[in-house]
Amino acid sequence: MPTINLPYNFTPRKYQIPLLDAMDSGCRHAMIVWNRRSGKDKTCFNIMVKKAWERVGAYYYIMPTYKQGRDAIWEQMDKVSGFPMVGHVPAEILAGKNNVDMKLRLKNGSIIQIMGTDKTIENLRGTNPLGIVYSEFSLQRQDAWDVMRPILTENKGWVIMNMTPKGKAHHSYKMWTLARSNKDWFTELLTIEDTGVMTMEDYDAEIASGMAPELARQEFFSDWLATNLAQFIPYDVASMAARREYDDNDLRYSPTIMGVDVARYGDDSSVIYVRKGLKTLDYQTYRHMDTMHIASMVMEMSAQYREDAIFVDVVGVGAGVVDRLKQLGKHPIEANGACRSVNNKRFYNKRAEMWQNMKEWLMNGGSIPNDKDLIEQLIGIEYGFTSRDQQFMERKEDMKGRGMVSPDIADALAMTFYAPVQGRTPEDDEDDEREKMMSRRSRITSMTGY
């Protein structure tokens, strides 16, 4: 076998070398708090590959969710070179690859497996890994480390935790404080001033584009003092809403509202969501469809559901949908999530207010389809508070940056809460009945001549 140097096809940046040196020197516990885009996962994965080749055993690379593991590690490719993350395991030492279980088997007998604590944490009990990386530890379940700590103690294994801060009230801060005071742990906090990966211009641009300053300080300056984000909609709230059912007569006089979230990026979806009071009537998603076609789809669903209001997201390209609908005789309402909220003291912008209204709807009887994509989007988004104590919602870009899906369906549902809408009344039914009667009389007259 030819000589293979590990790490393979990886040239560490200067600031990544201390961690590599510490692990090469026998360090068994490490926690790194590095700014965004600093190569946390690439560095940690290469350490794991080298360790797995040096000592035969099982090695777990654990993400907060199974999907993140697949997207951020298993299928991840370098943005510049296109080199796959798992390509850092050279073919000369790779014996097999299991795509279903995201498992790599090395020729020396070691196993490297990509996991998510949302699916596998209970199954980890009783296993015997020699090395673990907890990626984005601040987003992991609080018991993720407690389950594995005794195992690594017994077999002299190692662990690396990488993360971005989520505030001093978060469980990860307690772990960081303990690690910093323990001489057996390697700890390192780096900001953009240390890594040089991002610039102050990038920092200012993110804030200008809508990122909350507190979140920007977390992402760019690894600031534990910045307000922490937290899950906005608990799983049990979304799950309960997915089990509710309503008869159409129960909601006869509730308003029928359509929300349209128009895709701004190539991998996002445009979504049309129709809600009647507490009940979801329908939603449709569309990929790679221009604004004219989206407007046509809105017209088709409008003919089917006879909505009382249409709210169209105009941030980005949605204005084109609004213009076309007006040409077709509709009266869409332009919805801008970035604009000032009605309750400006409580909400950072209108999007935060819409999501809060939607959350309360879910908690107070709202019904959604039992659809895993919608539920994942509802529970995946995080929120926080500004220094002025205003509630803000995580941006789509930031969700995708941590491996989550873009909440396109959930945003379309939230769009239906942009403003209050008046529903039908019994008087409307009487008017409809009179119109039907007049129409029948007109037809009879035209047929008989009387």
| Residues 366/414, Cβ–Cβ less than 8 Å | no
| Average confidence score pLDDT of the chain | 88
pLDDT exceeds cutoff 70 at 441: no
Residue predicted with more confidence, 265 or 330: 330
pLDDT exceeds cutoff 70 at 265: no
Residue 401 is predicted with a pLDDT of 65
Lowest mean pLDDT among 74-88, 138-152, 220-234, 373-387: 220-234
Mean pLDDT of 298-319: 94
Site of tokens 């941590």: 402
Query: To the nearest whole percent, how much of the chain has pLDDT over 90?
Result: 62
Residue 447 is predicted with a pLDDT of 41
pLDDT digits (tens, 9 = 90+) for 32-68: 999 988 999 999 999 999 999 999 999 999 998 788 8
Range among 66-75, 78-87, 275-284 with highest mean pLDDT value: 275-284
Nearest by Cα to 106 from 39, 24, 6, 28: 6
Query: To the nearest whole percent, how much of the chain has pLDDT over 70?
Result: 90
Nearest by Cα to 302 from 288, 284, 277, 278: 284
User: pLDDT-based confidence at 126, cuts 50/70/90?
Assistant: confident
User: pLDDT-based confidence at 449, cuts 50/70/90?
Assistant: very low
Residue 397 is predicted with a pLDDT of 76
Query: For residue 339, what are the CA distances in angstroms to 17, 200, 314, 406, 415?
Result: 45, 25, 11, 21, 13
pLDDT exceeds cutoff 60 at 163: yes
pLDDT exceeds cutoff 90 at 253: no
Query: What is the CATH number assigned to the segment(s) 230-415?
Result: 3.30.420.240
Mean pLDDT of 141-147: 82
Q: What is the pTM of this model?
A: 0.58
Give me the residue spans of the domains in the chain. 14-221, 230-415
pLDDT exceeds cutoff 50 at 448: no
Residue predicted with more confidence, 301 or 228: 301
Residue 433 is predicted with a pLDDT of 63
Residue 343 is predicted with a pLDDT of 93
Residue 221 is predicted with a pLDDT of 92
Which phi and psi (to 5°) does residue 32 adopt?
A: -120, 135
Residue predicted with more confidence, 368 or 65: 368
Q: Under CATH, which architecture does the 14-221 domain have? A: 3-Layer(aba) Sandwich (3.40)
Residue 247 is predicted with a pLDDT of 85
Nearest by Cα to 92 from 40, 53, 124: 53
User: pLDDT-based confidence at 406, cuts 50/70/90?
Assistant: confident
User: pLDDT-based confidence at 224, cuts 50/70/90?
Assistant: confident
- Let me know if the fold of 14-221 is the same as that of 230-415: no
Residue 431 is predicted with a pLDDT of 62
Lowest mean pLDDT among 112-126, 272-286, 287-301: 112-126
